[in-house]
Structures are given as C-alpha cells and as structure tokens.
C-alpha cells in the first residue's frame, strides 16, 4: 500500500516534482576539487542553463546565469504580500565528487515494501537494517540510482523542490507571498558554493537553503570546517641502490594517517563530536600528499583537531631522518549558529511553515555544512530545511517522493508566513 502524502498540497506537487527531479539528476554536475574557474566543471552550466529556461517559462523575467555559474531569479510579491519583504531560496546544482556521478539513471520503487532493495548495477544493496531512515519509509515511493552512481538528491532534490514550489506559486497569484529571490549555486560540495555569491545584489533580508535530509528538519547550526593538506617530501633513488639513502615519502604519509586517533573519525563519532577525516592520499617515493577535512561545532575544539593533526605529522616525520613536511590549513565555513541568533524570526517562520504542513519540526545541528554557513556569516541569515534525501555522497543515495513533496509544500507555506510579516 502506498503511503499517504503529508497533505493534499504535497500530493498535488508530487508528480511535477518527480518529473523535474528525474530531469535534473540525469545531468552530470559533479564538482571538482582544486577549482581553477567557476564553476569547476562544465556540466554544472548545463543544468544551470536549463533552470534559467524553465524559470523564464514560469514567469520570472529576470532569470539569468552569471559569469560565475550562479542562477538568480525573482518571483514578485503577490496575494497581499509586501514587496518590500524579500526572502531567498537557495540550493546547489553540483553533486559530490566522492562517488561516480555520470550517467545517473533514477529508479522509482513505488510503494516500497520495506525490504532490501537490490539495485541492478554495481552490486549496490539498500538494506533497511543498515539504513534506519529507509526502514521507516515502507509504502513510500523511493527513488534511487541504478546502483553504479550516486543519485544526486544532494542537492537536486532541493533544486526540484524550489522549482516546483515556484511553479505552483507563479500559477496562483492569489496565494500570499513576499518577493522571492531564487539562487542556484555551483561548487557547494567542494566548499565554494557561496564564495562568489553576490549577497548585496541578491537583495534578500534572509534566505533558506533547501539542502537538508530527514522529514521536518530545520537546522540553524552547522559544523565549523577546515581543510588540511599535508605534503611529505622524501629522498628518491633507484631502489636497487636505496640502502641507507631512500626516504619513502609515501610510506611516511601512510604512517601519519595510521597514527591519527581511531576514535576521531567520522565513522566513530556522532552528535556533537567533531572529527578528522582523511579523504585522499596520493604520492610517490619522492613526494606524498594527505588531504583531510576537520570538523567540530566548537571552534576551540576544532583548533585542537588542527593542532593534533599538525603535531602527529611533525612527530612521525621527526622519526624519519631525511623527510620533511609542510602543513597547510584553510578555513572552509563557520558554524552558522552565532550569525543566526540575532534574527530568531528567520528560524521561527521556517518552524511555523513546517508545522503548517502537519509536521513536527526537528531541530538538530548539521554534521556538515551548507552554503548558508558562509552566507549567514556574510550577513544573509540562512538556515537549512529538509529535502527528503538520504545516504548522500554514495551509490546508496535515495530519496522519498512523499518527503520531497512535503519539502516543496513547506516552501509554499514559508511564502505565506513571510507574506504575513509586517
């Protein structure tokens, strides 16, 4: 039996939402680390151009793609909403480089039976015993990839939800809404989604990223984030003449990774615990590189993780005469909490919109970040709202159509909440 939607509004939005989502996820928009231009990959522009065309067809006459790959548009106030109240809706078009992203073929498992889902490619299995959110979605229409790619729900679910809500509102000018500003950003997955965002030109007093996960989430706190690059230099020589001369940088780098605490990794932490996550190692005997991200909700603890990583690398290298190490640490995004606290009404309106959809708001910190982290720090208060996607950055990624439709409905309610603002 198919699970019911959260409201008649959500049910009415579902099929348009699914069609948009299906269309968007088939476009390869994986971003790339080490960006030399914006966006980092040309596929992001393919989706962005499509979105501009669709927005123009819906009504916003100013929809445009700028030179850095940002899509912006305006839906004018209507239904008694104050044109001077300007609220932003933001999602990112790129998908993660952490799993294959080309050739996505979405599959819809109608009225999911609650059991194991075996996908046709890649040997990928979605087991509700390992995916607790999936276990609770029996009866839902579950969307997955075919198993050899990620799905792209992060964040094309958010993109599709915004587009669906805008289509619904644009076709119904009698519904109350403020001035809505839309922005679709590139390169969020590599930490650069808000780096070239023109906050002043956007002109909103606040915004919301549609980039969360579980039904009902409203998030106003994220990790603070840094990225570290450790470069080990050794001494290379022909291995046949290496005795007493060779200093193998690749082996030294491996020792650094092995020396990091086992209880300070993403897979061994939860809740408000931070971590050090080594996501890439590469190198040869002469030079090797370790790249890691560091996360915590507390800035002092985050600085402690940096100090630990630095000390570990230096201690290992000190035990290897002839090796040397450089460590570069860069800020990625801040915890948005302190930047949102002066504007409680922004989160309160989102909570009211979620309740208007008949849901109980879930206020949990994000063990990650969004464009809203940087935007909030730059003066545009931007909390995060759920999208209905799960198991992001993997070939096991999935989304519930019922939950995605609820998120689109929440956007419609959010417009009504802000239309009442005076």
With tokens 């088939």, the residue in question is 26
Distance of alpha carbon 94 from alpha carbon 190, whole angstroms: 9
Instruction: Tell me if residue 371 is catalytic.
Output: no
With tokens 């949990």, the residue in question is 364
Instruction: Tell me if residue 94 is catalytic.
Output: yes
Residue among 148, 154, 161, 188 flagged as catalytic: 188
Q: Which of 226, 224, 233, 225 is CA-nearest to residue 313?
A: 233
| Residue 274 Cα to chain centre, angstroms | 18
414, 353 Cβ separation under 8 angstroms: yes
| Exposed e or buried b per residue across 222-255, where buried means at least 16 C-beta atoms within 10 angstroms of its C-beta | bbbbbbbebbbbbbbeeeeeeeeebbbbbbbbbb
317, 257 Cβ separation under 8 angstroms: no
187, 94 Cβ separation under 8 angstroms: yes
Distances (CA, A) of 122 to 171, 356, 392: 42, 41, 17
Residue among 28, 94, 148, 154 flagged as catalytic: 94
- Catalytic positions, written as ranges: 94, 188
């Amino acid at each position: 039996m198919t699970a019911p939607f959260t409201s008649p509004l959500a049910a009415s939005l579902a099929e348009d939402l699914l069609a948009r989502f299906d269309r968007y996820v088939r476009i390869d928009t994986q971003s790339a680390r080490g960006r030399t231009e914006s966006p980092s990959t040309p596929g992001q522009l393919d989706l962005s151009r499509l979105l501009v065309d669709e927005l123009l067809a819906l009504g916003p006459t100013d929809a445009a793609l700028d030179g850095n790959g940002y899509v912006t548009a305006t839906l004018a106030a209507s239904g008694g909403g104050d044109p001077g109240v300007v609220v932003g809706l933001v999602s990112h078009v790129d998908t993660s480089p952490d799993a294959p992203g080309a050739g996505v073929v979405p599959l819809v498992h109608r009225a999911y039976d609650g059991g194991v889902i075996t996908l046709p490619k890649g040997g990928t299995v979605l087991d509700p015993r390992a995916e607790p959110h999936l276990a609770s979605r029996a009866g839902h229409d579950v969307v997955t990839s075919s198993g050899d790619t990620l799905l792209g729900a992060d964040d094309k679910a958010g993109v599709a939800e915004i587009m669906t809500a805008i289509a619904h509102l644009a076709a119904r000018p009698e519904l109350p809404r403020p001035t809505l500003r839309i922005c679709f950003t590139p390169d969020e997955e590599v930490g650069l989604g808000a780096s070239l965002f023109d906050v002043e030109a956007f002109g909103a007093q606040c915004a919301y990223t549609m980039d969360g996960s579980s039904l009902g989430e409203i998030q106003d706190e994220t990790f603070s984030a840094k990225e570290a690059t450790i470069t080990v230099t050794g001494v290379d020589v022909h291995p046949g003449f290496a005795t007493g001369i060779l200093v193998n940088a690749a082996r030294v780098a491996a020792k650094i990774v092995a020396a990091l605490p086992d209880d300070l990794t993403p897979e061994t932490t939860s809740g408000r615990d931070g971590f050090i996550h080594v996501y890439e190692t590469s190198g040869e005997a002469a030079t090797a590189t370790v790249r890691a991200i560091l996360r915590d909700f507390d800035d002092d603890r985050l600085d402690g993780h940096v100090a630990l990583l630095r000390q570990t690398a230096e201690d290992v290298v000190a035990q290897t005469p002839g090796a040397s190490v450089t460590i570069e640490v860069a800020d990625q995004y801040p915890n948005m909490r302190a930047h949102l606290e002066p504007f409680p009404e922004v989160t309160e309106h989102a909570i009211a919109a979620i309740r208007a959809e008949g849901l109980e708001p879930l206020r949990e910190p994000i063990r990650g970040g969004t464009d809203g982290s940087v935007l909030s720090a730059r003066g545009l208060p931007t909390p995060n709202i759920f999208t209905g996607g799960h198991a992001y950055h993997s070939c096991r990624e999935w989304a519930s159509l019922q939950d995605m439709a609820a998120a689109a409905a929440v956007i419609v309610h959010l417009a009504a909440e802000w239309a009442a603002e005076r």
